[in-house]
Structure 1
Amino acid sequence: MNFEAVKSIYMFEMARMRRTLLQSVISPVITTSLYFIVFGTAIGSRIQSVEGVSYGAFITPGLIMLTLLTQCIGNGSIGIYFPKFTGTIYEILSAPVAMTEILLGYVGAAASKGLIIGVIILITASFFVDIRIAHPFMMVVFLVLTAVTFSLFGFIIGVWAKSFEQLNLVPMLIVPPLTFLGGSFYSINMLPPFWQAVSHFNPVLYLVSGFRWSFYEIADVNPLISLGMIGLFLVICLSVIGWMFKTGYRLRS
């Protein structure tokens, strides 16, 4: 393992976060604060509690997950797409660096950025609502697995995309609706039986449900099933990336 290569790629990607603090850190914090003001105050005043938890506290895991998914996919995709766009990807591919080392550098940086933002959002939320974490270890497990998995997913999008329009297609048009419809702001038990069944086909439901369970021990889906679904998606992403590296799909042409 060429740790120096991994470190170089990782530190280069992390430096981008320092150069774009307004976009990378301040913007998500402001957006999340507005969610708490609008949803937590305006709607929360009409919804006293959800399954015994105040509405503002109930939506906190969903907001963290929404931000985490968006940040990890965005960082994971732009990290590998930009070298393709500028042509520097060929310098990386021709260097004595294994594909796994390239993957560790880019995905590790994307996941780290997402985790940093997630922790900042959690701290920000504590100023608005009373948060309790029933299972801190499981919260970290869900947070890390989700960050790594969706950074890998973002990496796939970055390799697949041929333009900036394609690069933003999934993060902007697909992920937010799935997150909003995945129980981020409500419990699916509030839905009619038909829509409850439909919601189980939304992968984001399992992420939000498992993450919320680590806070308040309430969940729409069994936490073990949620953990299994994240693991399954992780394996699928690794398999797709393995195929991309093996065939050179949109990397060597």
Structure 2
Amino acid sequence: MSATLGLRTLLRKEILRFWKVTFQTIAAPVLTAVLYLLIFGHVLEGRLEVHGLAYGTFLLPGLVMMSVLQNAFANSSSSLIQSKVTGNLVFLLLTPLDARAWFLAYVGAAVVRGLAVGLGVGLVALWFVPWQGLQPASLPWALAFGLLGAALMGALGLIAGLWADKFDQLAAFQNFLVMPMTMLAGVFYSVDGLPPFWKAASHLNPFFFMVDGFRHGFFGVSDTPPWLSLGIVAVALAGVSALTIRLLASGYKIRH
């Protein structure tokens, strides 16, 4: 019972950490995504169709998923590195919580923030782009990819937070790994239109399968079979989660 209470307390603390500054953690990412939509959607609307969809309509789920992934990563990574730099991580180390409780609390809060930002992007974007061709029967696919993708990025954020010793190292991880992989994951285009080499290279990017599967949930169209994408994302989540829990249990860069 005490372990469950500790987990709930840590999860609540992590959610409140970003919820108290929603203008920065929720509103700002929503504004950034909507600006992408307005700029790219406005310029190419009526000039380009992808999978039979107007470009702005095709773009919208990709931007939602990109926002989910980036903000889930940012939440867990920034929380852990902030605790390390300020020195208050020692108070968490004194608790009887094990590595799995840490993992569930940090990743759980990352999922909440990621989905909150994604929902905000979707709701605000409805004022500008109608989701034509939306298939409500496929929404469980969108939810599955949203949850798995956010959890994967939350776990990856924990690894980045454990590895980094200062904020600029964390920024390098985000700017040179997370940002390029999300931007090149088919958010703004269909990989079917790429040359063979770049199309094959895109299939080496696990972020692509998250975005592609999420888009399938809204329009029933995708560049790869959704079950294949779901399997790849699930395997990636299992592998990253196992590594994260092992690093937490060993005290990597937090106990030694």
Range into which the TM-score falls when normalised by the shorter chain: over 0.9
Could you tell me how far 1:147 is from its partner in structure 2? 0.9
Could you tell me how far 1:90 is from its partner in structure 2? 2.1
Contact 1:66 1:176 in 2 (8 A): no
User: Secondary structure of the residue that 1:219 maps to in structure 2?
Assistant: coil
Give 1:155's aligned residue: 158
Could you tell me how far 1:83 is from its partner in structure 2? 1.7
Per-residue CA deviation, residues 166-212 of structure 1 (Å, 9 max, x unaligned), is 11122222222222222111111111222211211111111111111
Contact 1:209 1:220 in 2 (8 A): yes
> Which piece of structure 1 moves more, 215-224 or 16-25?
16-25
Spell out structure 1 runs of 4+ moving beyond 4 A.
none
Could you tell me how far 1:12 is from its partner in structure 2? 1.6
Q: Distance in 1 between matches of 2:113 and 2:180?
A: 23
User: Secondary structure of the residue that 2:128 maps to in structure 1?
Assistant: coil
Give 2:68's aligned residue: 68
Which of 185, 188, 198 is the matching residue for 1:185? 188
**TM-score, structure 2 as length reference:** 0.93
1:69-108 alignment, distance < 5 Å: 69-108=69-108
1:252 aligns with 2:252: no
Q: Distance in 1 between matches of 2:141 and 2:191?
A: 22
Q: Tell me the amino acid that sits aligned with residue 72 of structure 1.
A: A
Tell me the matched-pair count. 252
Structure 2 unaligned regions, length at least 5: none
Give 1:31's aligned residue: 32
Q: Distance in 2 between matches of 1:146 and 1:61?
A: 14
Give 2:240's aligned residue: 237
Aligned residues: CA RMSD: 1.5
Q: Distance in 2 between matches of 1:90 and 1:128?
A: 47
Q: 1:69/1:118 Cα in 2 relative to 1: closer, same or farther (>3 Å)?
A: same
**TM-score, structure 1 as length reference:** 0.94
- Over the matched positions of the two proteins, sequence identity in percent amounts to 33
Q: Distance in 2 between matches of 1:148 and 1:195?
A: 27
Per-residue CA deviation, residues 143-184 of structure 1 (Å, 9 max, x unaligned), is 111111110110111111111011112222222222222211
Could you tell me how far 1:215 is from its partner in structure 2? 0.8
